[in-house]
Amino acid sequence: MSHAYPAPAKLNLFLHVVGRRADGYHLLQSVFRLIDRADTVHLELRGDGRVVREDELPGVPEDRDLSVRAARLLQAHAPAGAGVSIRLDKVLPMGGGLGGGSSDAATVLLALNRLWQVNLPREALQKLALQLGADVPVFVFGQTAFAEGVGEILQPVSAPPAWYVVLTPPVQVPTAAIFAAPELTRNTPPLKIAPFSAGMGRNDLQPVVVRCYPEVARHLEWLAQFGEARMTGSGACVFASFGTQDAARDVLRQLPETMQGFVAQGLDRHPLVDCCAE
């Protein structure tokens, strides 16, 4: 029997680089907001102990696929013989800053935690998730979060209801290259956690990406006609927040034919948030 599970995207409502560790990793502060635009992860249980990817993911070998790595990581805690076949229906663009690959991996962890009857508590699953990448734990955390450290120190925070217009420039932005840019601001003063408000903060990576990728700059400039527009993550996707679905859809209807985008609603909780114990 095949099971289908959503892997929702995220937006960084702001993203500050507040320092750098001795090992070179950057220290961040951000608010992560899940949205209802999602990949779909199809899982079919196997009894032969194998983790198999059923389809190709262009540019991503199977042993580097975060979804495959997530399943193999959880196998160490699963009953003998536990295996799975994985198939992804990709909607979220790669290299777009929406966290698609990280979300796919987190959905695999959350779903198999229940399907394999591993039943790890959320905190333990988040620690496994961090081995896969800094963005994976927030999807396991499963709610709007104020993030610190490299993104793994998470606290719940409230964000106002919102609909987002998200534009998807036709470029892939390499995260490592943006963080390595010498002109990147790395000393934004840290914020104390406080009630989040729309328009709070900025994205410190945005000026670097805008200089390197004119398409990102073009999409930001167009969207800024309708409200405060900013980039999510290390790009390339950009977004603006609106109070109603109608307002967001009205903006999307005006989108030039040379651009692509979508409207998504902010989520307070991950659809699979109940797949692990607290």
Q: Active-site residue numbers?
A: 10, 135
Count of CB atoms within 10 A of residue 128's CB? 20
Nearest Cα residue to 90 out of 112, 67, 71, 61: 67
Q: Which residues, 6+ apart, have CB-to-CB distance to 1 below 8 Å?
A: 44, 45
Question: The tokens of 99 are what?
Answer: 């966290």
Question: The tokens of 23 are what?
Answer: 């090992």
How many whole angstroms separate alpha carbon 99 and alpha carbon 145?
Answer: 14
Q: Is the peptide bond before 236 cis (omega within 30 degrees of 0)?
A: yes
